[in-house]
Amino acid sequence: MTTQSPTASAVAADDVTEVSRGSLIRTIASREIWVKLHDKGFIASTVFFLLIIVGATVIPIMISQQSHDYRLAVVGDQATAVVTAATGLHTSASSGDVPKVTLTTSSAADRAAAEALVRGGNADAALVADGTALTLIGRDAVPDDLVILVKAAAAQTDVSRVAAEAGLSSDQVRQLVAPTPPKVDLLNAQPDRAVPPILLVMIFGFLFYFAVLTFGISIAQSVVEEKQSRVVELLVAAVPVRWLLAGKVLGNTVLAVAQVTLIVGVGLAGAALAGQSALISQVAGASVWFLVFFLLGFLMLACLWAVAGSLASRVEDLQSTTMLMQATVMVPFFASIFVTEPGRVQEVLSYIPFTAVLLMPARVINGTAASWEPWVAAGIVLATAALFVVLGARLYEGSVLHTSNRTRLVQAWRSARGGRS
Amino acid sequence: MALDRVSFDVRPGRLTGFVGANGAGKTTAMRIIMGVLASDAGTVTLADRPLDLAARRRFGYMPEERGLYPKMRVLDQLVFLGRVHGLTPVLARTRAIELLEELELGDRMTDVLHTLSLGNQQRVQVAAALLHEPVLLILDEPFSGLDPIAVDAMAARLRARAEAGVPVLFSSHQLELVERLCDDLVVIHEGRIVARGDAAQLQEEHAGTRIRIVVDGGTDWLSAAPGVTVVSSDPRGTVLELAEGADGQSLLLEAQRHGAVREFGRVVPTLSEIFHEVTR
């Protein structure tokens, strides 16, 4: 076709902004991000994850650190002495064994008055002394930590009284009631860890599995949607196919890394708020390598997900064309769960691209990897990623315009060879 | 679909109709022009320069089965497509709003595409093709699925673009429509171009030496007349082919001898007739 158009050649020069690769890829990428950020499913899953992480880090810590307030009605001198001792227990050397309980006391005239307070809900429990015999009165039940505290305080009061009667000096009494506990020395001490490493590896493994699967499928879906709706014809008439692929992969990678960083970050922030500095330093160190491998692993698979999408001609075909990819993602996940024992198998797998993504950070967390090892494994994954990007781009080019039916891999490979520019 | 030596021109300021049966190669040819398909051989040139992506980016294209994101809002996707074609975000937005208002879709801009009727989706598709002020329009079946009123509106729009100096190539099955609308014609059959050129001239060429005749008292005598071949005969009249050198005027005199001549004239074929003739 020839158009001899003075109009056409005159405008051809500068009306439309010059093609810029960077801005085109960014345009494609931002549409991917925009679509995903308006996807209720994506928002819901992110919020769900954040809630789980907050729940998992903050709630147990809050429970363990929570101090309970009890209102205790007190009857008799002996009972008052025990309550005083109980308050003092927190500050003594052996306080670690005593529950953190804050007592608010109110004195009652006699047992009947104390019972009335408990029954009326004005006191959580009552401690009644009849001579030296103590009774702890509750309505339905007496809280366990209160019982433990009162028992310990009563024992101490008894010991002090008997010791004083036996004529021991106040120093001796103190020695008796607050013995110096033995020091614990470990010959093969492990670094202080708030969370078992296996659990940490599993959490990271699951995050990787979940993110790669959701974002991978979302790449494939976005590709097949463009194919099915024929938007792809408009796009390839204006954008080189490789840039299109690059934009898609970039957009989804940015989102995936942002989501995982957010989840890990919120988890760390939650732990920081809860005052778990040991947990933070442990996880933060491990997170860096995890995130590096996550990024590399994601890039490695992203182009292949796009290929899986472009092989399908309708959204319904995705299930079958992405099967291989789903398996590919599952392998590192299960490897990270089952190959938890340090040893030859884990060492080898931590260098194989697919499993390295999780097992190398796992070895770093376990402290069984030398400092150079993650760098080598990262290099291997990066090289594989580069190979897959080239491979994926070609297969994507060869199949993305076959809109009529499912494309076979060989067919896609050959179509690309004919070469579109 | 294989194309064989398909060659035709699209001229500025003119509407070119591209007709052919299903599977004749219309869509394939258009996809090759747009670079969506690669041709095994041959070239597509614009003003004598081979087409590359930079040139194609300045074309407006409407694919056969339409191409928009079903789940995206109308305005958002036009802005996106504008940016893909190199417009700045602000310019893309301004033009998209202008076009949507011109297409009477001003109140549907924030609606998700698939909630629009098919006719309205088609208008959005038109907006997508016009957004970057293309220097050439390639439209695959722009009239399919439109009601008569929408057809007229679309025709007026294409005409306006052509008059603004933009060459327009569109394919259609609706031969009457193409006949009414087009300045130039390209007829494709089984991957080959079988007719092309100025529509009126084509009709003239194919008019040949045929004559339609209606005479009271029948035309049975025609079979014996010299230099005359009867092509068809029905109640509307008899069409005959006059051999080269045969005299039309003497035939008319002869006819008058047989009865009153109600009609005697040269047959100018409709596009539909030309189409059937050239694709036979």
Q: How far is residue B64 CA from its own chain's centroid?
A: 14
Question: Mutating which of B28, B36, B91 best tests the A interface, going by the most A Cβ atoms within 10 A?
Answer: B36
Across the interface, do A233 and B35 touch by the CB < 8 Å criterion? Answer: no
Say if CB A304 and CB A321 are below 8 A apart: no
Instruction: Name chain A contacts of B7, Cβ cutoff 8 Å.
Output: 1
Query: Is A138 within 8 Å of chain B by CB?
Result: no
Give the one of A2, A24, A226 whose C-beta lies nearest to B9's C-beta.
A2
Q: Higher pLDDT residue, B140 or A398?
A: B140
Distance, in Å, from the CA atom of A378 to the CA atom of B105, rounded to the nearest integer, reads 53
Residue B118 has pLDDT above 50, yes or no: yes
E strand or H helix at A331: helix A323-338
B 137-156 near A (Cβ less than 8 A): none
Q: Which 8-state DSSP code applies to residue A178?
A: S
Strand partners, B20: B188
Which residues in chain B touch residue A28, judged by CB atoms under 8 angstroms apart? 84
| A positions 365-404 inside 8 Å of B (CB) | 401, 403
The single-letter code of the amino acid at B95 is R
SS3 for B171-187, per residue? Answer: ECCCHHHHHHHCCEEEE
Average pLDDT per block of 10 residues along chain A, 421 residues long:
36 45 89 90 87 76 69 85 78 58 82 87 86 83 83 83 80 73 70 66 84 89 87 88 88 90 83 72 78 90 87 84 86 81 85 88 83 92 89 82 69 61 36
CA neighbours within 13 Å on the CB side: how many for B121?
18
Nearest to B167 among A3, A18, A226 (CB): A3
User: Is residue B116's pLDDT more than 70?
Assistant: yes
Indicate the DSSP class of residue A142. Answer: -
> In this complex, do A237 and B167 lie within 8 Å of one another by their Cβ atoms?
no
With an 8 Å Cβ cutoff, are B56 and A238 in contact? yes
Q: What is the pTM of this model?
A: 0.72
Which pLDDT belongs to residue A97? 62
Q: Give how far Cα A393 sits from Cα of A6, A234, A397, B32, B60, Å.
A: 38, 19, 6, 21, 26
Residue A31 confidence (pLDDT): 92
Work out the minimum CA distance from A255 to partner chain B, whole angstroms.
Answer: 19
Q: Is A238 on the interface with B (CB under 8 A)?
A: yes
Residue-wise pLDDT for B23-77, tens only, equals 788 888 888 888 887 777 777 777 777 777 888 888 999 988 778 999 899 999 9
Nearest to B167 by CA among B38, B81, B46: B46
CATH architecture of the domain A67-177 equals 3-Layer(aba) Sandwich (3.40)
E strand segments, B21-106: 45-46, 49-50, 59-62
Domain with CATH 3.40.190.10 in chain A: 67-177
Nearest CA-CA distance, residue A327 and chain B, Å? 29
- Model confidence at B81, in pLDDT bands (50, 70, 90)? very high
pLDDT band at B94; cut points 50, 70, 90: very high
Q: Could you tell me if residue A167 is left (phi over 0), alpha (psi between -120 and 50 degrees) or otherwise beta?
A: left
Q: Specify the DSSP class assigned to residue B51.
A: -
pLDDT attached to residue A12: 35
Residue at B239: amino acid letter: V
B118 touches chain A (CB under 8 A): no
Nearest one of B17, B44, B12 to B31, comparing CA atoms: B44
Contact B84 A35 (CB under 8 A): no
Q: Can you tell me the distance from the alpha carbon of A225 to that of A231, in angstroms, rounded to the nearest whole number?
A: 8
User: Taking CB atoms and an 8 Å limit, are B61 and A233 in contact across chains?
Assistant: yes
DSSP code of residue A401:
T
Question: Searching chain B, which residue's CA lies closest to the CA of residue A35?
Answer: B72
Cβ–Cβ below 8 Å for B63 and A401: no
Whether ipTM tops 0.90, in short, is: no
CB contact under 8 Å between B57 and A231, yes or no, is: no
Q: What token pair was written down for A380?
A: 């291997």
Give me the percent of chain B exceeding a pLDDT of 90: 19
Three-state secondary structure string covering A119-130: HCCCCCEEEEEE
CA nearest to A173, candidates A252, A85, A258, A110: A85
- Rounded to an integer, what distance in angstroms lies between the CA atom of residue A358 and that of residue A27? 32
Give A-chain residues touching B53 at CB under 8 angstroms. Answer: 19, 238, 240, 421
Cβ separation B80–A27 shorter than 8 A: yes
How large is the average pLDDT for residues B166-181? 88
Mean per-residue pLDDT, B154-179: 88
Q: What pLDDT sits at residue A264?
A: 83
Q: Looking at CA atoms only, how far is residue A281 from chain B in angstroms?
A: 44
Residue of B12, B40, B71 lying closest to A3 (CB–CB)? B12
The first and second tokens of residue A274, run together, are 């809860």
Q: State how far residue A16 is from chain B, nearest Cα, in angstroms.
A: 6
Q: CA-CA distance, B183 to B200, in Å (whole number)?
A: 8
CB contact under 8 A, B63 and A233: yes
Minimum distance, in Å, between the CA of residue A316 and any CA atom of chain B:
16
Q: What is the pLDDT of residue A155?
A: 84
Query: Which of A3, A17, A234 has its CB closest to that of B67?
Result: A234
B81 to chain A, any CB pair closer than 8 A? The answer is yes
Query: What element of type H or E holds A387?
Result: helix A373-399
Q: Give the residue from B168, B167, B171 showing the smallest Cα distance to B141.
A: B171
Span B162-166, average pLDDT: 89
Q: Kindly report which listed range (A272-276, A342-346, B151-155, B212-216) carries the lowest average pLDDT score.
A: A272-276
Residue B196: in which H helix or E strand, if any?
A: strand B192-198
Report the residue of chain A nearest B65, measured CA to CA: A230
